[in-house]
Structure 1
Amino acid sequence: MDDGQGAAGQGMDEDAAEATPKSRGDAAKRKAWEDEARDSLHIMPLSTIPLETPGLQHARLIKNVRLQTVVEMFHDVQTGSGQIAPRNVAVYFESYKDEVERDLVKIEKIAAASSFDVYTSRIELRRLNIDVNNVQSLTLSDKKKKELTNYMRVFTRPLVEHVYGSVDMQVQDVTDIIAMFANPNREEALRNLRMMADRLDIELHEIPKFLEEYGDVFLSLAYFKKCLDDIVPEIQKFLSWMGEIRNSIEVKRDARQMRMLDEISRDLTDISTSITGRFESFDNRSKDFWRDINAETFHSIRELIASHHVTIGGVLCGLAVKMDLWKARFARGGGGPNRRMEFVKSEILPGLSHIKTLEQSARTSAV
C-alpha cells in the first residue's frame, strides 16, 4: 500500500490517467490488479460506479494512511502512486467540466465511506440508488474465496451436519453445498431438507436461494475474520517495536511523548480487544441459529451481521493501512528512537481517534 504521499502530475489526458498496470496486454497482471481491488479494504475502482467522464473509470478511490480518501490516477512500480483529493479531479478533465461536476457528486459521497471492502461498498452504493446486483467488482475474487475455505467450514459444518447427520462430506464452499443439496443422495437428507424448509417458512425449491444468502452472509464474516486474524499479530509486533523507544533517554525525559505512547498503545489494544469480542458474539449467535432454526432467527443474525459491516470494515481498514505502511517503512524492524517516534506521530496517530470512535459506536449496538 502506498503511504499516501504520491502526487500526480498536472495536464494529464484521459489515456495517461488510467490507473492500470503498464503492461496492459498482460492479462494476468490486469486480473491481479482487479482482484487486489476486489479483495481490499482500502481500494474501490471507479469503474464500479456509473460515471460520465471518459477515462475517470480507470482511476481508483483509495484510503491513505491518514484515512483520507484520495483518487489514485495512476499506479506504477517506477512512478509510484499518483493521488489527488476528489475535489481536484476536474483539473485533469477540463474538456468534460459538466460531466465531472455530476460525477463528483457521487464520488464525494462514496469517498466518505470508512472502508472500501465489497460489503461496505454495496451498502454505500445502494444509498446512492446504484444497482449493485451482479456487479462483479463487488464480489470477492475466486482466489480470496478459496483462501477463506477454512473460515467458512465453521459455518458450513453445522449446515451439512444438520441435513446429513455427518460432516464427512467434501465441501469446499457454499457452491458445493448448493449443488449437493440440489440432489440429496439420501432419503433422510431429503426429509431433513423438507423439515428445514418448513422451519424457515420457505418452499423446498427455495432452499438453494436460502443457501446462497446464508453463504454470502457468512462469507462476509469469514472475510472480515481473516482480515482481523492477519492484522492483530501485526499490531502486537508494532506495539513491541513502539515500546522499545521508551528506553531512549530523549523519550524518557519528555512526559508528553511518554503519555502519547501510552495512549496509542492503550487505544490499539482496546480496539483489537473490542472487535475480537464482536466476532465472538457473532459466532455465538450463529450457533444459536442452528440450535433453533427458524426464519426469525436467520433474519435476525443476517441483519445483525449486515448492520456491523460498515463499522467492522472501517476499523479493519484503518488498522490495515497503518500496519501495512509500518511494515513497508520498517520491513526489517529497527529504526532509531527519533525515526520511530516521528513515524508514530506522523503516520500512526493521525486518524487513530477516528478508528477508536468507530469501534466505540459499535459497542453501543446490541450484539
Structure 2
Amino acid sequence: MEGDTAQAETETAKPATPGGGEARRRTSDDEARDSLHILPLSSIPLETPGLQHARLIKNVRLQTVVEMFHDAQTGSGQVIPRHIPAYFESYKEEVERDLVKIEKIATASSFDVYSSRIELRRLNIDVNSVESLTLSDSKKAELTNYMRVFTRPLMEYVYGQEEVQVADVSDIIRMFATPNRDEALRNLRMMADRLDIGLTEIPQFLEEYGDIFLSLAYFRKCLDEIVPEVQKFVTWMGEIRSSAEVKRDSRQMKMLEDIANDLTDISTSITGRFESFDNRSKDFWNDINADTFRAIRELIASHHVTIGGVLCGLAVKMNLWKSRFLRGGGGPNRRLEFVKSEILPGLSHIKALEQSARNV
C-alpha cells in the first residue's frame, strides 16, 4: 500500500537527480496524496523557496522529518524540522515564519488527506482549494467496491430494488439531479423533507455523504491491507521465541510477548471500530433524518485523527519490515535486533492512540 518507509535521519540533504518525466512526477504526487505518512509541503502556503518541493514524512519511529529529496539512486534526505533554517540561510525571516506552521503540523499522528485537512484548518489554512488534499482519481477508482456498501442503500431508498450501475458518488449526484422516474422523484422529496432540506440541496447532501463515506472506504482499504501484514509479522516475530538463546532470557521473551499482544489488541480494536461504523450507517438508512446523519457524520469525523494515526504507525513499521526481510527470513539475532530497534520505538504511541479512541 504505502511506498518504502524512509530510513534513519540524515543531516545532509543533496538535490535529487533530475529526470523521470511528467509521468513519474504524477505518480509520485498521487502516492503522496494517497499515503498515510506523506504530506507535500506544497499543500501549505510557505514563503521559503525550495521548501515547496520538500515533504513531511513519518519515519519508522513515528517522528516527523522533512524529506528534502527522495530518489531511487540517492535515497531519502531527511532533516529534523528545527534544523531547516541551516539549509536556507538567505531566507532567515521567511523560514522562521514557515517553521512555526511546519512544527505545528508535524505533531499530527498521520498525514492522510483527512487528518491533514483537520490539522491545516486549525492553522486557518483554506483546504478546499488544495488538490493535494484530496485522494487521487486512481485511489477513488480502487475504492469503488468499498463505496458500494454505502451507495447501495442510497440507490435502494430512491429507486427501490432496481439495480443501477454507478462508479462513485459523483454518478449518483448527476443521476439524482434529473431523476428518471416519478417514484424516484417522490422518494427524493421525502428524503429532503426528512433531512429538513430543500430538494435543490439534495446534491450538496449527497456530496457530503459521499465525502464522509469515501474517507471510511479509504481507511477501510488501508486496514484490510495492513492487518494481514501485522498478523504475518506477529507469526514471524514469534518464531524468535523458539531460539535457545532467547528462551534463556526472560526479559526478551516478555518483550516479544508484550509486542505481539499489543499489535494483536490494536488490530482487533480498530477492526471493531469499523464494524461499529458499519452498524451506525445501517441505522441511518433505517431512520433517515437530519439528526441521525449529523450524528454519524460527526462520529466518523471524530475518529479520523486516531484511525489515521494508528494505521499510519502500523503501515510504516510493516513496510520497513517487508523491505528489510523480503523473503521473511533472518536469523534470531537479526530479527530480535530489528524488533527492538524499529518496531518497539513508537509502538506505545500507536497503542495510546487506539486506547484514546475508545473514549470518543
The verdict on a shared fold, with TM-score over 0.5 as the criterion, is: yes
Q: 2: CA distance between counterparts of 1:293 and 1:134? A: 31
1:260 corresponds to: 255
Residue 23 of structure 1, CA deviation: 1.5
TM-score normalised by the chain length of structure 2: 0.98
Note the alpha carbon deviations across 1:240-289, whole angstroms, 9 max, x for none. Answer: 10001111011000000000001000000000000000000000000000
Q: 2:5 aligns with which of 2, 16, 28?
A: 2
Q: 2: CA distance between counterparts of 1:362 and 1:6? A: 30
Q: Is the 8 A contact 2:169 2:210 kept in 1?
A: yes
Q: 2: CA distance between counterparts of 1:167 and 1:116? A: 40
Note the alpha carbon deviations across 1:121-146, whole angstroms, 9 max, x for none. Answer: 00000001111112100000000000
Residue 364 of structure 1, CA deviation: 1.3
Q: 1:345 aligns with which of 317, 326, 340?
A: 340
Whether 2:204 is the aligned partner of 1:209: answer yes
- Amino acid in structure 2 at the alignment position of 1:4: Q
DSSP 3-state at the match of 2:69? strand
Residue 167 of structure 1, CA deviation: 4.8
DSSP 3-state at the match of 1:228? helix
Whether 2:8 is the aligned partner of 1:22: answer no
DSSP 3-state at the match of 1:268? helix
Residue 166 of structure 1, CA deviation: 2.1
> Residue 167 and residue 145 in structure 1: after superposition, are their counterparts in 2 closer, same or farther (change >3 A)?
farther
Q: 2: CA distance between counterparts of 1:108 and 1:246? A: 41
2:156 corresponds to: 161
Note the alpha carbon deviations across 1:287-326, whole angstroms, 9 max, x for none. Answer: 0000000001001100000000000000000000000000
Q: Is the 8 A contact 1:42 1:117 kept in 2?
A: yes
- Amino acid in structure 1 at the alignment position of 2:19: S
Residue 3 of structure 1, CA deviation: 3.8
Q: Is the 8 A contact 1:2 1:81 kept in 2?
A: no
2:271 corresponds to: 276
Map 1:32-51 to 2 at 5 A: 32-51=27-46
2:146 corresponds to: 151
Residue 107 of structure 1, CA deviation: 0.1
Whether 2:287 is the aligned partner of 1:297: answer no
Residue 8 of structure 1, CA deviation: 4.7
2:327 corresponds to: 332
Q: 2: CA distance between counterparts of 1:2 and 1:136? A: 24
Q: 1: CA distance between counterparts of 2:309 and 2:162? A: 35
- Amino acid in structure 2 at the alignment position of 1:292: D
- Amino acid in structure 2 at the alignment position of 1:353: S
Residue 184 of structure 1, CA deviation: 0.7
Q: Is the 8 A contact 1:110 1:124 kept in 2?
A: yes
> Residue 156 and residue 92 in structure 1: after superposition, are their counterparts in 2 closer, same or farther (change >3 A)?
same
1:223 corresponds to: 218
Q: 1: CA distance between counterparts of 2:328 and 2:162? A: 44
Note the alpha carbon deviations across 1:22-54, whole angstroms, 9 max, x for none. Answer: 326x11101001000000000000000000001
Q: 1: CA distance between counterparts of 2:65 and 2:299? A: 31
- Amino acid in structure 1 at the alignment position of 2:5: D
Whether 2:105 is the aligned partner of 1:110: answer yes
> Residue 248 and residue 167 in structure 1: after superposition, are their counterparts in 2 closer, same or farther (change >3 A)?
farther
Whether 2:137 is the aligned partner of 1:142: answer yes
Map 1:234-249 to 2 at 5 A: 234-249=229-244
Q: Is the 8 A contact 2:158 2:187 kept in 1?
A: yes
Residue 9 of structure 1, CA deviation: 2.3
2:316 corresponds to: 321
Q: CA RMSD for the aligned pairs?
A: 1.1
Any unmatched runs of 5+ in structure 1?
A: none
Question: Whose RCO is larger (CA < 8 A, sep 6+)?
Answer: 2
Q: Is the 8 A contact 2:6 2:76 kept in 1?
A: no
Residue 170 of structure 1, CA deviation: 1.1
Q: 1:187 aligns with which of 175, 182, 200?
A: 182
Q: Return 128-137 or 335-344, whichever deviates more.
A: 128-137
Q: 2: CA distance between counterparts of 1:178 and 1:282? A: 23
- Amino acid in structure 1 at the alignment position of 2:28: W
Residue 4 of structure 1, CA deviation: 2.7
The share of aligned pairs that are identical, in percent, is: 78
TM-score normalised by the chain length of structure 1: 0.96
Q: 1: CA distance between counterparts of 2:281 and 2:57? A: 33
Q: 1:69 aligns with which of 57, 61, 64?
A: 64
Note the alpha carbon deviations across 1:326-351, whole angstroms, 9 max, x for none. Answer: 00000101100000000000000000
- Amino acid in structure 2 at the alignment position of 1:335: G
Q: 2: CA distance between counterparts of 1:167 and 1:127? A: 44
Residue 5 of structure 1, CA deviation: 1.4
1:359 corresponds to: 354
2:118 corresponds to: 123
Note the alpha carbon deviations across 1:75-120, whole angstroms, 9 max, x for none. Answer: 1101100001000111110000000000000000000000000000
Q: 1: CA distance between counterparts of 2:86 and 2:24? A: 29
Q: 2: CA distance between counterparts of 1:234 and 1:22? A: 34
Between Structure 1 and Structure 2, how many residues are aligned?
A: 357
Q: Return 1-10 or 191-200, whichever deviates more.
A: 1-10
